[in-house]
Amino acid sequence: MGARPIALSAEDLLARYRAVRGLTTALAHPLSDADATLQSMEDASPAKWHLAHTSWFFETFILRDHTTDYSAFDDDYAFLFNSYYEAEGPRHARGQRGLISRPSLDQLLAYRSHVDAAIEVAAGSLNETALGLLELGLHHEQQHQELLLTDIKHLFAQNPLLPVYMPADAVAPPDTALEILWIKGPAGIHPIGHGGAGFAFDCETPRHDALLAPFALASRTVTNGEWIEFIEDGGYAGAQYWLSDGWAWVQGEAIDAPLYWQKDDSGWQRFGLDGLQPVILAEPVTHISLYEADAFASWADAKWSGARLPTEAEWEVMAAALQADGGNQLSKAAAIRPTVSSMPANAGGLSDMFGNVWEWTGSAYRPYPGFRAARGAVGEYNGKFMSGQFVLKGGSCATPRGHMRASYRNFFYPHQRWQFTGLRLARDI
């Protein structure tokens, strides 16, 4: 990331600052001090940490570096709430984040208010660099909003009592999924990546040409019902559909269903922010790893006469003309969950390309031709994660509305699945 051409005025940025910061605090509202303190695995962080780390970002890169008279809320926080910025000095070990009962949730909410007040004062006199960092900080905070929700979901799933983050509205979902149509994509050379005005992370640049072979994309993502077919057809029972690393993972971790699924006498249940609920067949499957997505595609390839994961470029070219801020994305604190895809508004016939579930692609997360990491501490942000991970596109129901772009590159290791991850198939034509 780094300073992008600024499209927003300081005033507009401040308005967005208030909205984004307010949503984060609202997301933490249902949480007790204890809820917000715990860390359920090394991949996740405590909610308190998300609240504080996002504030530390503004405090460090703007207030400390770009204002003259700011005094830190607490000098110890830089050590506690730095994440992976090696250039910013030593930091608390990631796996130890969940052992910090103090400062309390209330103290960290006070820290947030302290930083917010200082930003309000400073906003009018920030230079362009600082405004760029402010915008960056908001996008950074939106990423942590999604993680806060998925980390809390993971934490609550470890509690045998399966607590409810927030009850869901009782809305009867449609009971059948749309049929899959295969939407033909444009072969040949097409530009992908970010260019022009507007914010983007450094890894989305430079905009460059990609060459596509003839392909089609499925009109919707894979559903829970289809996933149960895969299970019942022995999808998890043998090596044949799996990448070698994936099969080792299945066996080592005794995987036999998506994360948060359990089966009882009444059938498959899934745990969510709204507690334990029946699996809805027509809803998109979520909380699957890349290994599972790939195995499903291999199974579907045999069963449906052609299927594979899309590449990042295929997905992005198809999404380029669609509204990135539409669909099922995060707008307020709620028991968010994927919903059944409805007929797409767009001419192309693709449902829910944005929102609902992140879509695994078959593309490794590697630098674009000509990529240069942004300078300085913030430049550590993306480039250094470019090994071993796969790209996901489109955002999910937990992605803050306004955060998404067609060029957005999310990335996770192939075994990770505590995000709202799903898949949309592609095929050669």
Residue 375 near a copy of itself by CB under 8 A: no
Closest by alpha carbon to 397, among 329, 311, 325, 347? 329
Closest by alpha carbon to 230, among 180, 301, 280? 301
Residue 303 near a copy of itself by CB under 8 A: no
Residue 203 near a copy of itself by CB under 8 A: no
At residue 399, the 3 state secondary structure works out as coil
∠ CA(187), CA(342), CA(428), 5° rounding? 25
Residue 364 near a copy of itself by CB under 8 A: yes
Nearer of residues 199 and 411 to a copy of itself, judged by Cβ: 411
Nearer of residues 18 and 372 to a copy of itself, judged by Cβ: 372
Measure the N-to-C terminal CA separation of the chain; round to a whole number of Å: 36
User: Shortest distance, CB of residue 161 to a copy of itself, whole angstroms?
Assistant: 6
Total of chain residues touching a copy of itself, rule CB under 8 A:
64
- Half-sphere exposure of 411 toward its Cβ, with a 13 Å CA cutoff? 21
Token pair listed for 19: 């909205």
Residue 42 near a copy of itself by CB under 8 A: no
Residue 189 near a copy of itself by CB under 8 A: yes
* Interaction pattern, residues 341-360, with a copy of itself; x per rule: CB under 8 A: --------------------
User: Shortest distance, CB of residue 428 to a copy of itself, whole angstroms?
Assistant: 5
**Among 29, 71, 124, 160, contact with a copy of itself (rule: CB under 8 A):** 160
**Cβ contact 291:362 at 8 Å:** no
H helix runs in 4-104, sequence order: 10-28, 33-37, 47-58, 65-66, 77-81
Residue 242 near a copy of itself by CB under 8 A: yes
User: Shortest distance, CB of residue 285 to a copy of itself, whole angstroms?
Assistant: 20
Residue 34 near a copy of itself by CB under 8 A: yes
Residue 131 near a copy of itself by CB under 8 A: no
**Cβ contact 37:343 at 8 Å:** no
Count, in order, helices (H) and strands (E) of the chain: 11, 12
Residue 304 near a copy of itself by CB under 8 A: no
**Cβ contact 378:418 at 8 Å:** no
Residue 388 near a copy of itself by CB under 8 A: yes
Q: Is 293 left (phi over 0), alpha (psi -120 to 50) or beta?
A: alpha
At residue 426, the 3 state secondary structure works out as strand
Residue 254 near a copy of itself by CB under 8 A: no
Residues β-bridged to residue 421: 358
User: Shortest distance, CB of residue 217 to a copy of itself, whole angstroms?
Assistant: 14
**For residue 284, is the peptide bond before it cis, meaning its omega torsion is within 30 degrees of 0?**
no
∠ CA(389), CA(416), CA(176), 5° rounding? 115
**Among 7, 26, 32, 186, contact with a copy of itself (rule: CB under 8 A):** 32
User: Shortest distance, CB of residue 11 to a copy of itself, whole angstroms?
Assistant: 37
What stretch of H or E contains 359? Answer: strand 358-364
Token pair listed for 61: 């890169």
Residue 251 near a copy of itself by CB under 8 A: no
Question: 74 to 103, contacts with a copy of itself by CB under 8 A?
Answer: 76, 79-80, 84, 86-87, 92, 96, 98-103
E runs forming strands in 130-213: 182-184, 188-192, 208-212
Nearer of residues 205 and 223 to a copy of itself, judged by Cβ: 205
Residue 40 near a copy of itself by CB under 8 A: yes
Task: Please tell me the distance from the alpha carbon of residue 13 to that of residue 127, in angstroms, as a whole number.
Answer: 13
Residue 302 near a copy of itself by CB under 8 A: no
Question: 207 to 226, contacts with a copy of itself by CB under 8 A?
Answer: 208-211, 213
- The residues of the shown chain that bind a copy of itself, judged by CB under 8 A, are 32-38, 40, 76, 79-80, 84, 86-87, 92, 96, 98-105, 155, 158-161, 163, 189, 208-211, 213, 238-240, 242-247, 290-291, 294, 311, 362-364, 366-367, 369-370, 384-388, 390, 414, 428
